Amino acid sequence: APAPAPAAPKLGFAAVSKSLADVVSVPAGYTATVLYRLGDPIASGVPAYANDGTDAAATFDRRAGDHHDGMTFFGMDASNTWSPSAAARGLLAMNHEAITPVFLHPTGQTTTGIGNAQVRTVADEVLREFYLHGVSVIEVGKGASGWTYKQDSAFNRRVHTLTEMRFSGPAAGTGSLVTKFSPDGSKTRGTLNNCANGSTPWGTYLTCEENWAGYFRRIAVTDNPNRSAKELASFSRYGVAGTGRELWATFTPDTADNLYGRWNTEVISGAANAAADYRNGANTYGWVVEIDPFTPGSTPKKRTALGRMGHEGACLGPVVAGKPLVWYMGDDSRNEYIYKFVSTKNWDPADVGGGLAAGDKYMDDGRLYVAKFNADGTGAWLELKLGVNGITASNPAYAFADAADVVINARLAADAAGATKMDRPEWTAVNPKTGEVYVTLTNTNAAARPITATDAANPRFYNDPKGAAAMAQIGNPNGHVVRFADAGGDPAALSFTWDVYLFGARATASADVNLSGLVADNDFSSPDGMWFSQATRGLLWLETDDGAYTDVTNCMLLAALPGQVGDGAARTLTNVDGATTRQQATFVGKAPGTDGLRRFLVGPKDCEITGIAESGDGRALFVNIQHPGETTPVANLANPALFGSHWPDGGNARPRSATLVITKDDGGLIGL
């Protein structure tokens, strides 16, 4: 049996230098290999990916999607049953958040027209894009030549924007989810912009729908005339406005089952009847979706009790028999909130392996809360429920009607409750040693967080000196990490204490910007992905999705050994800009030093590092490289020398999002 993790772990690798090279760099003594790339086939008979835009569109439901993001490793034993400690075989479930359209088709997206009249004209291109979003489930295993995925495994599956899904929880079967596809509001098609992830103690995968709003077409001047004031308020609050990110709604002719028209919220049927069109289409996205990876034919469920928002992820809290289960969630947009969902039912370990039926038990019935951070280091969880915290029919901003209205418009309910607007809540992570919860607040700008609107939990306003783009870098350009401890260690508690664990910054920044005392071996900007290793108990992985520090370095992965809430001294931020006095950060965690935070990996050009998981023994670490070269203009497609990246295939290849597997050459635990 492998040696257990040491009781007092220490970071055991030499820091990787910042880099602008088009490679993946890991510490000496480690090897990173590419496991699963955009377009890789996951069924027998599907040809290898040509990666020149000519791969048949109809094969993409059996290929890896694009923009690999959050993922979970489900260890599997010889009887194909979930075995969390399994070290050499398992199912890897992962999100494919979005696409880099320039590299998916022969010459980029084909369109005609301009402005609101711009339309897509090639059905195969749109079909590829439908399939390239969503989720992969793949079987992976460790053989004589290392880790590979099994192309012909019966467990391999793609979930995408055409996959049928059922609703459950308070909004299921209500009028707001009625569409032409589902006149009883019980189901929908697809999942979209799946960013971070989560898991359950019964062995299923959670995928979280983040920036779905932008995919819907809604041109205000041609709004459905039957819209109510409440519907318009909801559109406005969720940002459903514009031409639709990939113009999917514009392809004509539509199919009999409205594959394209369902993205058009304006569709005017001439009837006042929602079942005649897709005016509610946007309500069918923005959810946490549960997928049972061990049952490939199962229908995923959108768990509406967890609220509708720009869900980043859903991190499971401490699992204790006889106690409620809890998931902590960020809503990633500027000035959005942090939430938790607490189950009504207490955890019964007999439900392990219970699949989606266990989800019905624990995730459809519970309480949804939003966080309020007080300046004194305390905080409160405000329940989002009809009749409390201002969430009533007489609320002046939005007249809440029922439980479905509250979860569908969770952002408006959180506004009514008076929650604290945060600097873009990305991933949540729960320390397995303490139960404390960490939240990455990736960054924000001066428009969303002017100096007069800073507060203790979002205290920064300064200028990051990134060359000519300096003026765009004012506000909180480098982000920070907040953490909190639910009172009494009880995840169902209604209060918490909190501090700031870490502030991103350039090592060269002045001390009143570089508040965590970062140095060359651990400076970073824009924390996003974040996850506690279970095998090492206490090792925190931190991933970046940055645009502020990218004049100096590509995005990165760092390893950390954090202390506990309140372990730093109280400090007052000074005013470096000569403007209004800043708010005070009540508790700033102590500087981590290089023993507490160290750079482990730097990715290729123009990528984000996101998604992380480990084998059951902690001796293989899976990390996703998302969208290398994504800002390549379509005009450069004819000349490979002008691609923003050629990773991972090198030469003249188009770049591909891909999963890495990282192992230590001596077979040891990763990072220690």
Q: Does 231 contact Ca ion by CB under 5 A? A: no
The CB-of-330 to Ca ion minimum distance in angstroms stands at: 9
| Closest CB to ligand FEO among residues 139, 543 | 543
Residue 607 contacts residue 626 (beta carbons within 8 Å): yes
52 class by beta-carbon count within 10 Å (0-12 exposed, 13-18 middle, 19+ buried): exposed
Name which of ligand FEO, Ca ion, none residue 210 binds, using a CB cut-off of 5 to 8 Å depending on partner kind: ligand FEO
The CB-of-65 to ligand FEO minimum distance in angstroms stands at: 14
Q: Across 454-515, where does the E strand assignment appear?
A: 462-463, 474-476, 480-486, 495-503
| Closest CB to ligand FEO among residues 100, 182 | 100
Report phi then psi at 456, rounded to 5: -60, -35
**Which residues inside 176-205 make contact with Ca ion, applying CB under 5 A?**
195
**Structure tokens that stand for 603 in this block:** 């990715």
The CB-of-381 to ligand FEO minimum distance in angstroms stands at: 22
Query: DSSP 3-state assignment of 25?
Result: strand
The CB-of-336 to ligand FEO minimum distance in angstroms stands at: 10
H helices then E strands: how many in the chain?
A: 6, 35
| Closest CB to ligand FEO among residues 332, 415 | 332
Vertex 529 angle, CA 308 and 568, to 5°: 105
Residues in the chain: 672
Q: Considering only 428-436, 475-483, 606-614, 642-650, which stretch makes contact with Ca ion by CB under 5 A?
A: 606-614
Name which of ligand FEO, Ca ion, none residue 416 binds, using a CB cut-off of 5 to 8 Å depending on partner kind: none
The CB-of-611 to Ca ion minimum distance in angstroms stands at: 9
The CB-of-127 to Ca ion minimum distance in angstroms stands at: 23
Q: Does 543 contact Ca ion by CB under 5 A? A: no
Task: Tell me the per-residue interface mask from 277 to 306 with Ca ion, x by CB under 5 A, - otherwise.
Answer: ------------------------------
The CB-of-165 to ligand FEO minimum distance in angstroms stands at: 20
The CB-of-98 to Ca ion minimum distance in angstroms stands at: 7
The CB-of-523 to ligand FEO minimum distance in angstroms stands at: 21
User: Could you tell me which of 381, 480, 371, 473 has the C-alpha nearest to residue 424?
Assistant: 480
108 class by beta-carbon count within 10 Å (0-12 exposed, 13-18 middle, 19+ buried): middle
Residue 598 contacts residue 639 (beta carbons within 8 Å): no
| Closest CB to ligand FEO among residues 528, 546 | 528
Q: Considering only 157-165, 222-230, 339-347, 537-545, which stretch makes contact with Ca ion by CB under 5 A?
A: 537-545
205-209 and 30-37: which strand pairing?
unpaired
Residue with tokens 């001439």: 270
For residue 653, give the DSSP letter. P
**Structure tokens that stand for 279 in this block:** 């005016």
| Helix residue ranges per DSSP H, 482-634 | 593-596
Query: DSSP 3-state assignment of 405?
Result: helix
| Closest CB to ligand FEO among residues 69, 464 | 69
**Structure tokens that stand for 358 in this block:** 């266990």
**Which residues inside 459-498 make contact with Ca ion, applying CB under 5 A?**
none
Spatial separation of the C-alpha atoms in residues 447 and 76, rounded to whole Å: 48
The CB-of-67 to Ca ion minimum distance in angstroms stands at: 6
Q: Does 545 contact Ca ion by CB under 5 A? A: yes
| Closest CB to ligand FEO among residues 339, 347 | 339
| CB within 8 Å of 3: residues ≥ 6 apart | none
Q: Considering only 99-107, 344-352, 388-396, 608-616, which stretch makes contact with Ca ion by CB under 5 A?
A: 608-616
| Residues near ligand FEO (CB under 6 A) | 97, 195, 210, 312, 332, 426, 528
**Which residues inside 407-436 make contact with Ca ion, applying CB under 5 A?**
426
| Closest CB to Ca ion among residues 155, 212 | 212
| Closest CB to ligand FEO among residues 486, 606 | 606
Residue 207 contacts residue 291 (beta carbons within 8 Å): yes
Residue with tokens 């290089």: 594
| Closest CB to Ca ion among residues 587, 622 | 622
Spatial separation of the C-alpha atoms in residues 371 and 338, rounded to whole Å: 6
Q: Does 608 contact Ca ion by CB under 5 A? A: yes
Name which of Ca ion, ligand FEO, none residue 608 binds, using a CB cut-off of 5 to 8 Å depending on partner kind: Ca ion
User: DSSP per residue over 123-169, as a string?
Assistant: HHHHHHHHHHSEEEEEEEEEETTEEEE-TT-TT-EEE-TT-EEEEES
Name which of Ca ion, ligand FEO, none residue 607 binds, using a CB cut-off of 5 to 8 Å depending on partner kind: none
List the beta bridge partners of residue 483.
Answer: 438, 499
Q: Does 528 contact Ca ion by CB under 5 A? A: yes
Residue 530 contacts residue 663 (beta carbons within 8 Å): no
Spatial separation of the C-alpha atoms in residues 536 and 526, rounded to whole Å: 25
The CB-of-659 to ligand FEO minimum distance in angstroms stands at: 17
Binding-site size, Ca ion (CB under 5 A): 5
Q: Does 331 contact Ca ion by CB under 5 A? A: no
| Closest CB to ligand FEO among residues 97, 266 | 97
| Closest CB to ligand FEO among residues 290, 545 | 545
Q: Can you give the binding site for Ca ion, defined by CB under 5 A? A: 195, 426, 528, 545, 608
